[in-house]
Amino acid sequence: MKHTMDLAAREALVAAMAKDFVPAKGKAKNKSKSRKKSKASKAPNCKASDVPTLGEAAPSPSKLWFAVFVLSYISLQVAISMGSYSGFNDPPMFGDFEAQRHWMEITTELPLAEWYANSPSNNLSYWGLDYPPLTAYHSYVVGRISHFINPSWTALNTSRGITDEHHKLFMRLSVIVTNVLFYLPALWMLLGSAKKPTTFFFAAFYPGLLLIDNGHFQYNHISLGFFLWAIVFFTNTRPLIGSIAFVLALNFKQMELYHSLPIFIFLLSRCMKRKSFLSSIYHLLCIGSVVLGTFAVLWAPFIWSNGGVLQVMKRVFPFERGLFEDKVANAWCVLSVVVKFKEIFSLDELKVLSGAAVLIASIPSLSKLFMQPTIRQLKYALSISSLTFFLFSFQVHEKSILLAALPMLLILNEEWTTVTIFLTTSVVSMFPLLLRDGIRVTLPVTMLYHCSLVLGRNYSTLRGISVTTFVIVAGAICAAEVAVEPPAQYPHLWPLINAGFSFSVFSLILLRINWSMYVKKEAK
């Protein structure tokens, strides 16, 4: 009886919904004729099956698209993760994969006072921790989970160079999970609402970050995710939360200094342009207090530890390593073929010279940003500043180009051709590193995807020829590194040619973005 009443109630509700779903004009003597007439005039495509029923909801096309996108995004990360990585079967140091695992070992098995200090249990020459405290805390959390699953994965000293397949799976998943749950939402907040859905798709599938984090193996997406969240909050006029997010980024990886100058100028100018002097001082003090407070919380355990802060600073800023690493596509590496900077200048002089070069090259964009502190100008200034740091700063690695790639993604809609060429070149510049890691199959496939977007754009004849030529040259350099043996007297020939080509493209793009920042009018 109860079941019959429930069924009758549901049928009545469906009938009521159907009645509301089909519009009718005025009152008619014959209700059925009026209903048919109304259906014919107002809803000619409406069928009986279109009437919604209880417990049934049609999936939104946008939700279906996003679900397919996320599934594809995760699948690509999994595919890359199944390949080789930095230091695979390469004793005694084993590479960046082992470095990340070793930090989990150190932070979970040793007291905090020994994390950054040389000791019998922590030989700093074997992947000593050299990133700020937030990286150490992240290593501790992931390390604790790792230890819970299998204590041998973080066993002090005996776990070095571990090649357990289950451990590899755990490490790979730790990257994919934080990427999808933390980095991707920030990117969606900034680019997901763009008119062209390809913008977000193109940015998310940027091969450089995926190949380094999921292939080579690092957690760059976490610091870059904090950076993106900072821009999200600045865009939504929440400077205090944005400042906290950027301090977190800076305390995860010190290379976030690449983004620090534009953010500082942006916040300073916004404060100074308040209606009154007191209001300017108040907002400036609020931001300063939040920044200092966040630093204090993150560094408190090391402040309480005797000499802890100084030890961390020495590890985080290892100036003794030199001007650049490997064959990086920046000014110092490329020009050192002709000018022997390390022989002409002392280490201290090179620090001053590189710092001055960065400041001089950044002044035009920072000046424009200070005069016009809009979000659009901030994105341009971030792109210029980070690329300037990569080209001219001290102690630069190939992977540092990722710090310039993220701000470039934010101006993709306005500078599609320029940014696309930059992103492709950034992957080309890291090709020697990825080649050493053994990522030979994944890289060509990803580059093919990327270059297809470059060539698929509707360009003018001249621009199309230029872009096609660029892709051919970039592809030829990568192919030569794989297939052509360099002369015995020039063993680093191909990496140097790669660096020279990439440096030339980066320099032209730096000039182009500066020009666009000044000349192009901001959309109202």
**DSSP characters for 451-464?**
HHHHHTS---HHHH
% of the chain surpassing 90 pLDDT = 65
Highest mean pLDDT among 116-120, 398-402, 413-417, 433-437: 398-402
Question: What is the average per-residue pLDDT within 366-376?
Answer: 97
Label residue 188 exposed, middle or buried (CB < 10 Å: 0-12, 13-18, 19+): middle
The amino acid sitting at 472 is I
Higher-scoring residue by pLDDT: 66, 304: 304
Query: Which of 143-147, 268-272, 347-351, 368-372 has the weakest average pLDDT?
Result: 347-351
CA distance 132 to 175: 19
pLDDT category at 471 given cuts 50, 70, 90 is: confident
Burial of 276 (0-12, 13-18, 19+ CB in 10 A): exposed
The pLDDT value recorded for residue 439 is: 83
Q: Is the pLDDT of residue 19 over 70?
A: no
Confidence category of residue 14, pLDDT binned at 50, 70, 90: very low
**pLDDT at 10 (0 to 100):** 47
Q: What is the mean pLDDT of the chain?
A: 87
- Euclidean distance between CA atoms 421 and 154, whole angstroms: 42
The predicted pLDDT at position 455 comes to: 66
Report which of residues 370 and 31 the model is more confident about.
Answer: 370
- Which comes out higher in pLDDT, residue 385 or 435? 385
Q: What is the pLDDT of residues 35-84, one digit of tens each?
A: 444 444 444 444 444 444 444 455 566 778 888 899 999 999 999 999 88
More confident residue, 403 or 42: 403
Residues in Cβ contact with 197 at an 8 Å cutoff, skipping those fewer than 6 apart: 65
Task: Please indicate whether residue 143 or residue 454 has the higher confidence score (pLDDT).
Answer: 143
Look at residue 485 and tell me whether its pLDDT is greater than 80.
yes
Residue 273 has pLDDT above 80, yes or no: yes
Mean pLDDT confidence for 138-157: 97
Q: Which pLDDT belongs to residue 57?
A: 53
pLDDT score of 456: 61
pLDDT category of residue 23 using cuts at 50, 70 and 90: very low
Instruction: Check if the beta carbon of residue 492 is closer than 8 Å to that of residue 486.
Output: yes
Give the per-residue pLDDT at 219: 98
Q: What is the pLDDT of residue 390?
A: 97
Residue 182 pLDDT exceeds 70: yes
Contact (Cβ atoms closer than 8 angstroms) between residue 382 and residue 262? yes
How far is Cα 208 from Cα 440, in angstroms, rounded to an integer?
A: 14
- pLDDT over threshold 80, residue 133: yes
Which of these ranges, 89-93, 369-373, 443-447, 471-475, has the smallest mean pLDDT? 443-447
Label residue 122 by pLDDT band (50, 70, 90): very high
As given in the structure block, the two tokens for residue 231 are 């821009």
> Which two structure tokens, joined as six digits, stand for 408?
């470039």
- What is the pTM assigned to this prediction? 0.86
Which range among 237-241, 275-279, 353-357 shows the weakest confidence by mean pLDDT?
A: 275-279
Is 28's pLDDT higher than 50?
no
Tell whether the model's pLDDT for residue 518 goes beyond 60: yes
Q: Which of 17-21, 301-305, 365-369, 409-413 is predicted least confidently?
A: 17-21
pLDDT (0 to 100) of residue 12: 52
d(CA 300, CA 309): 9
CB contact at 8 A, 103 and 139? yes
How sure is the predictor about 448, in pLDDT bands with cuts at 50, 70 and 90?
confident
The whole-number average pLDDT for the span 312-320 is 88
Range from 16-25, 212-221, 332-341 carrying the lowest mean pLDDT = 16-25
**8-state DSSP, 323:** S
